[in-house]
Amino acid sequence: MAEVYESERPRRRRGRALLTVVLVLLLLLLAGLFALDRFGASYAERVLADRVRQEVANQDSTSGEPDVTIAGVPFLTQVLAGDYQEIRIELPDFAAPTGTGETVRMPLLDIRAKDVQAPLDTLRSGQGDVVAGSVTGTGTVDYNQLAGLVGREGVKLSEKDGKLVGSAPLTLQGQDPIELTGTAELTVADGTVRVRFADVSAPSLPNNPLVQGAVRQFARNLAFDLAVPELPMNLALREVQVLPEGLRVTAGAQNVNLSA
């Protein structure tokens, strides 16, 4: 019995050693594949960042260094399938001319391209189209910048209960300035955010035709239009949201050719 026991122990040790070697080799293989996957993703992100940087420059716009992230792991399986879940593009300190003499600035223009179709043959040859099913971009314009579009001294804009509120002093002849406050109505049309004020009033405002007429004229003078500039990837203005930090504009497009 002792001889049988002693002969089985070396076999078990050799089996365990072989299993250890296999596990180590498997881990090394997985580590190599992961490194290759991340290298491929990093390379593709740099290429896309260069293209985005060139497109921004072609539109006479400026931004910080584009930060491109290809979502989804593993990356190489997406390459083989030619189908990418999402590509995120962040443009810090984005600024672009509106065509009407102003420059719109956003701390960050956040672009998301989803359902991107890029066949492997297209990537190899450079021929063919890389198409995103949908692209959405969001950015925020702060209230100090918006107040400058009014062109009137003392205008202040802010958010209250999810609505845009504006205030400014009104001076009537022979009287002290009256601080008027009104709520804005926002509409989106033809790439422009129209801002029109209603319910303009002030505490203890005299109720007489002269004063009321001056208030109505004052409200008309507060109106302004925010022309959203040309954005990368043919993004078109869709909606605007009032936030504590400013007006958030959302633009979008469908079936965008990223290789154009």
Q: 256: which 2 tokens?
A: 């965008």
Note whether residue 235 is domain-resident.
no
Note whether residue 86 is domain-resident.
no
Please calculate the CA angle 123-258-104 and round it to the nearest 5 degrees.
150
Residuewise pLDDT in 10s, the chain (260 residues): 555 555 555 655 555 555 555 555 555 544 555 555 555 566 667 777 777 788 888 888 899 999 888 776 666 666 666 677 888 899 999 999 887 778 889 999 999 988 887 776 665 655 667 788 899 999 999 999 988 887 778 889 999 999 999 888 877 766 677 788 889 899 998 888 999 988 877 776 667 777 777 778 878 888 888 888 888 888 999 999 999 999 999 999 999 887 65
Beta bridge partners of 241: 248
- Give the alpha-carbon dihedral of 143, 148, 154, 156, to 10 degrees: -10
Domain count, the chain: 1
* Tens digit of each residue's pLDDT (9 = 90 or more) over 143-160: 999 888 877 788 899 999
Note whether residue 196 is domain-resident.
yes
Note whether residue 62 is domain-resident.
no
How many of the other CB atoms lie within 10 Å of CB of 183? 14
Note whether residue 202 is domain-resident.
yes
* Tens digit of each residue's pLDDT (9 = 90 or more) over 102-117: 888 999 999 998 888 7
CA dihedral sign, ordered 49, 71, 246, 133: positive
- Structural contact between residues 229 and 137, judged by C-beta atoms closer than 8 angstroms: no
Task: Collect contacts of 99-106 with beta carbons under 8 A, ≥24 apart.
Answer: 99/227, 99/229, 99/230, 100/227, 102/149, 102/227, 103/229, 104/141, 104/145, 104/226, 104/227, 104/228, 104/229, 105/141, 105/145, 106/139, 106/140, 106/141
Closest Cα to residue 182, out of 163, 167, 161? 167
pTM (2 decimals)? 0.76
- Structural contact between residues 218 and 152, judged by C-beta atoms closer than 8 angstroms: no
Note whether residue 211 is domain-resident.
yes
Instruction: Write out the residue range of the structural domain in which residue 150 sits.
Output: 145-227
Write the CB contacts of 29 (distance below 8 Å, at least 6 apart in sequence): none
Note whether residue 178 is domain-resident.
yes
Note whether residue 213 is domain-resident.
yes
The pLDDT score that the predictor gives to residue 127 is: 66
